[in-house]
Amino acid sequence: MQKLHLSQVLSQKLSPQQIQFIKLLQVPTAELEARVEEELEINPALEEGKEEEKKESEEDNFEDNYEEDLGYDDNEVNLDDYLNDDYGGYKMQGDGNYSPDEEDREMPISSGISLHEQLIAQLGFLKLDERQKTIGKQLIGSIENDGYIRRDLEAIINDLAFSQNIETDLDEMEEILRKIQGFDPAGIAARNLQECLLIQLERKEHPDDPTVQNAIRIINDCFDEFTKKHFTKIQKKLDMGDEDLKESVNMITRLNPKPGGISDGLVKTQYIIPDFILLNTDGKLEVALNSKNAPELRVSRSYSDMFDAYEKSDKKDKKLKETVTFVKQKLDAAKWFIDAIKQRQQTLLKTMHAILDYQQEFFVEGDETKLKPMILKDIAEKIEMDISTVSRVANSKSIQTEFGIFPLKYFFSEGITTESGEDVSNKEVKSVLQSLVDEENKRKPLSDDKLVKMLNDKGYNIARRTVAKYREQLQIPVARLRKEL
Q: Does the structure show a pLDDT above 60 at 278?
A: yes
As beta bridge partners, residue 91 has 288
Binned at pLDDT 50, 70 and 90, residue 75 comes out as very low
pLDDT score of 89: 26
d(CA 257, CA 246): 19
Binned at pLDDT 50, 70 and 90, residue 297 comes out as confident
Greatest mean pLDDT among 22-26, 302-306, 333-337: 333-337
Cis peptide before 477 (omega within 30 of 0): no
Q: Does the structure show a pLDDT above 70 at 103?
A: no
Task: Count CB-CB contacts under 10 A for residue 121.
Answer: 11
Q: Does the structure show a pLDDT above 70 at 93?
A: no
Q: Does the structure show a pLDDT above 90 at 353?
A: yes
Q: What is the mean pLDDT of the chain?
A: 78
Averaged pLDDT for residues 43-51: 82
What whole-number percentage of the chain has pLDDT above 90? 24
pLDDT score of 282: 80
Q: Does the structure show a pLDDT above 50 at 105?
A: no
pLDDT score of 417: 65
pTM: 0.48
User: pLDDT digits over 421-454, tens only?
Assistant: 666 677 778 888 888 999 999 888 999 999 988 9
The answer to whether 122 and 184 have CB atoms below 8 angstroms apart is: yes
The answer to whether 218 and 234 have CB atoms below 8 angstroms apart is: yes
pLDDT score of 198: 94
Binned at pLDDT 50, 70 and 90, residue 473 comes out as confident
- Regarding predicted confidence, which is higher, 156 or 13? 156
Binned at pLDDT 50, 70 and 90, residue 311 comes out as low
pLDDT score of 248: 92
Alpha-helical runs (H) found in 102-209:
115-123, 130-141, 153-159, 170-180, 193-202
pLDDT score of 19: 77
Of the listed ranges 40-54, 121-135, 263-277, the least confidently predicted one is: 263-277
d(CA 275, CA 399): 6
Q: DSSP states of 17-72 as a string?
A: HHHHHHHHHH--HHHHHHHHHHHHHH-TTEEESPPPP--HHHHHHHHHHHHHHTT-
pLDDT score of 299: 87
Of the listed ranges 143-157, 173-187, 253-267, the least confidently predicted one is: 253-267
d(CA 365, CA 433): 21
Per-residue DSSP letter, 315: S
pLDDT score of 272: 61
Averaged pLDDT for residues 325-350: 89
Binned at pLDDT 50, 70 and 90, residue 247 comes out as very high
pLDDT score of 419: 66
What whole-number percentage of the chain has pLDDT above 70? 78
- With vertex at residue 119, the alpha carbon angle to CA 118 and CA 121, rounded to the nearest 5 degrees, is 65
Q: Does the structure show a pLDDT above 90 at 184?
A: no
